[in-house]
Amino acid sequence: MSAGPHLTKTSMILYYADMRIYGSKTISRLKALADPTRLRIVNLLAVRPLCVCSIEQLLGVSQTAASRHLARLQAAGILDSERRAQWVYYSLDEAFVTDHAGLLDYLKREAAEDALLLEDRVRLEGHVEADTLCAADPETSAPDMGSLSSRETTRTKRNTQKEYV
């Protein structure tokens, strides 16, 4: 895995720390997948790309926890990310999917028998059908700022400025 521009500073630190301690990309990837929350994230991202807010909504975790798990998966070379405006969309890394198709097939078979992972997928399908995922969903158009009240728009702008200053 190259430390390309899509990696955050935290992701790069985690990646190099794992490489220094364990010396193997394989061990780093398997350790990343060994966490239940990270496995749930991979299970959802196997269906479609999602932003952090959608992941926290679907899994019922805080934004901080979701971001920490996403950084660990990205550092292990399992996820890729793309920034669009103030949102970051995560998806399974194409090289990881190609190189580890057998592992992903195994995880999909296991997910089909795991109640929590099945529940997560059903919840995702329900949100997709009801169109209740984050307004920044990559598979729909950009959020319509005209439909927000002026108070919501101001709050969104203020939060965005705080987050990226």
Average pLDDT estimate for 79-105: 93
- What number is the average pLDDT over the span 119-146? 73
Q: Is residue 37 part of a domain?
A: yes
Assign residue 128 the CATH number of its domain.
1.10.10.10
**Domain hosting residue 33, numbered range:** 9-140
Q: How many domains does the chain have?
A: 1
Residue 164 maps to a domain: no
64 occurs within a structural domain = yes
Output 10-19 pairs: Cβ under 8 A, ≥24 positions apart.
Answer: 10/71, 10/75, 11/71, 11/72, 11/74, 11/75, 12/75, 13/75, 14/71, 14/72, 14/75, 14/76, 15/75, 15/76, 15/77, 18/75, 18/76
First vs last Cα of the chain: how many Å apart? 29
Residue 100, pLDDT above cutoff 50: yes
Is position 4 within any domain? no
Whole-model pTM: value is 0.70
Query: Does the residue 45 lie in any domain?
Result: yes
The answer as to whether 157 is a domain residue is no
Q: What is the pLDDT of residues 42-71, one digit of tens each?
A: 999 999 999 999 999 999 999 999 999 999
pLDDT of residue 151: 33
For all residues of the chain together, what is the average pLDDT? 78
Q: Is residue 88 part of a domain?
A: yes
| Higher-scoring residue by pLDDT: 80, 135 | 80
